[in-house]
């Protein structure tokens, strides 16, 4: 399909900066030209036109840490600390989830994400063959990295699932789906298994990946202050320093790792993250809700660590709203550091776009509006009271815009939402499925518990 997005203000997140009354030309899913509207309209008069007058076009937002299927648990277990939340509420219910449950939950999150301008999601959950998050993402038309979460108590099952996931889904769905190896955390994956998963990743990349389309790593790292003690007690290991230093001693860190949370870090941990080129996914809303703490993001960025943004799951956030994460990130670090100059709007918007793409090792294709990149775009309607008057587009995107302001979304040049209408799937059918699936899941839990 040949498309021209015409008349809007383009926030490119590139050296081209902001182009007012601009246009973007899309051919076969990729951006082939960017410039002033009056020039490009004349060059491409017969292309399908999307009128963006009064609107702002941005790169699709990138969510670097999710558990998409957990939308089914939204509001199920609120106001508990992480350990109690996981062990007493989340894990017991998850034992009863089927592949179809996971598929429905991921569909719901995919739709919510698209409607909020998010075009790429990195998700960690349990992979099952027939129904799974990958199948849901492909159905919805969203881009994503699908991981299978690994625990020491099910090693054989994990390895089998990882092999099947990579074989069936890596670089599939017209290149929109990639896969990852996901050790849950350093306190649930023992040292030897952690090393084995690193070796398995190399093996899977040799068979299914490539340097430009790699199978990556995704793991919770240093999420709470007691994580070091949990590692020592669980695996009877003795070590000095922080969680990152411990992982480095296992030789498992690398540029392909997205380390989610990174709340409790030592100065040496930060230095190691930079040296190993580990990418950090900052999840401020989830960390605040679970009272896990606040990641030292300004220190990480000062050290040169790539920091991107994530929502975390829909039951620890409780939304997949990246606009909310963007604003919270900007405000949180100003407040706790008592420095209003920290985390300026442009920097935080980059964290939700190009830095997210870099974290996922996908920045050569997505994350900015540039010739040759895939057309993953969100068109934001600025004709709203809370977005008037307009002094600065980036300021409005970070401090004023809402997910509901997103009007149209394209992923790899395909219109997946237009005028707030999802084009790939019946949203009302998904909502009905989600409610029925939730009821069935709770019934199964009640029967097994009685």
Same domain, 96 and 120: yes
Same domain, 231 and 319: yes
Distance CA 374, CA 270 (A): 33
Same domain, 267 and 119: yes
Which pTM does this prediction carry?
Answer: 0.97
Q: How far is CA 318 from CA 259, 322, 323, in A?
A: 21, 12, 13
Query: How many Å separate Cα 395 from the centre of its chain?
Result: 22
- What is the SS3 assignment for 47? coil
Q: How far is CA 184 from CA 67, 135, 158, 180, 329, in A?
A: 12, 22, 11, 12, 24
Same domain, 330 and 263: yes
Report the pLDDT value the prediction gives residue 306, as an integer from 0 to 100. 98
Same domain, 93 and 224: yes
Same domain, 26 and 154: no
**In the block, residue with structure tokens 């020592």:** 232
Strands 406-411 and 55-59: unpaired
Domain boundary among 332, 359, 386: 359
Total domains present in the chain: 2
Same domain, 181 and 297: yes
Distance CA 199, CA 211 (A): 16
Distance CA 200, CA 408 (A): 40
Report the pLDDT value the prediction gives residue 449, as an integer from 0 to 100. 61
Same domain, 171 and 193: yes
Query: How many Å separate Cα 247 from the centre of its chain?
Result: 23
Residue ranges in the chain modelled with pLDDT below 70: 448-450
Q: Tokens for 300?
A: 């990480």
Alpha helices in 188-253 (DSSP H): 191-208, 227-235, 243-249
Residue 435 lies in a domain: no
Same domain, 16 and 73: no
Report the pLDDT value the prediction gives residue 82, as an integer from 0 to 100. 80
Same domain, 148 and 253: yes
Same domain, 135 and 198: yes
Q: Which domain range does residue 48 map to?
A: 2-59+373-422
CATH code for the domain of 173: 3.20.20.140
Residue 101 lies in a domain: yes
């Amino acid at each position: 399909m040949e498309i021209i997005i015409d008349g809007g203000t383009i926030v490119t997140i590139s050296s081209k900066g902001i182009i007012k009354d601009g246009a973007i030309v899309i051919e076969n899913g990729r951006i082939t030209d960017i410039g002033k509207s009056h020039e490009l309209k004349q060059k491409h008069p017969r292309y399908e036109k999307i009128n963006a007058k009064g609107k702002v076009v941005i790169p699709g937002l990138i969510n670097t840490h999710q558990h998409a299927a957990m939308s089914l648990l939204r509001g199920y277990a609120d106001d508990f600390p992480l350990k109690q939340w996981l062990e007493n509420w989340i894990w017991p219910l998850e034992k009863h989830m089927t592949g179809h449950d996971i598929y429905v939950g991921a569909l719901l999150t995919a739709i919510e994400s698209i409607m909020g301008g998010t075009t790429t999601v990195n998700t960690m959950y349990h992979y099952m063959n027939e129904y799974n998050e990958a199948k849901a993402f492909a159905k919805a038309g969203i881009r994503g990295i699908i991981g299978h979460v690994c625990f020491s108590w099910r090693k054989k099952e994990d390895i089998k699932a990882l092999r099947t996931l990579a074989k069936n889904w890596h670089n599939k769905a017209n290149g929109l789906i990639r896969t990852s190896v996901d050790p849950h955390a350093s306190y649930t994956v023992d040292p030897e298994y952690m090393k084995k998963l690193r070796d398995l990743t190399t093996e899977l990349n040799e068979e299914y990946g490539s340097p430009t389309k790699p199978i990556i790593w995704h793991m919770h790292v240093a999420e709470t202050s007691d994580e070091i003690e949990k590692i020592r007690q669980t695996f009877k290991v003795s070590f000095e320093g922080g969680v990152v230093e411990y992982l480095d001693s296992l030789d498992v860190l690398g540029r392909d790792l997205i380390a989610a949370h990174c709340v409790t870090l030592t100065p040496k941990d930060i230095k190691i993250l930079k040296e190993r080129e580990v990418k950090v996914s900052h999840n401020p809303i989830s960390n605040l809700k679970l009272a896990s703490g606040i990641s030292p993001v300004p220190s990480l960025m000062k050290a040169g660590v790539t920091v991107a943004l994530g929502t975390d799951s829909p039951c620890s956030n409780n939304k997949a709203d990246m606009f909310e994460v963007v604003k919270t990130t900007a405000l949180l670090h100003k407040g706790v550091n008592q420095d209003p100059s920290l985390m300026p709007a442009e920097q935080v918007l980059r964290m939700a776009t190009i830095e997210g793409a870099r974290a996922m090792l996908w920045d050569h294709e997505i994350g900015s509006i540039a010739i040759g990149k895939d057309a993953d775009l969100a068109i934001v309607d600025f004709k709203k009271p809370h977005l008037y008057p307009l002094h600065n587009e980036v300021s409005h995107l970070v401090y004023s815009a809402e997910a509901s302001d997103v009007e149209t979304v394209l992923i790899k040049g395909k219109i997946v939402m237009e005028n707030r209408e999802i084009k790939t799937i019946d949203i009302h059918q998904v909502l009905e499925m989600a409610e029925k699936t939730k009821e069935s899941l709770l019934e199964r839990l009640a029967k097994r518990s009685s």
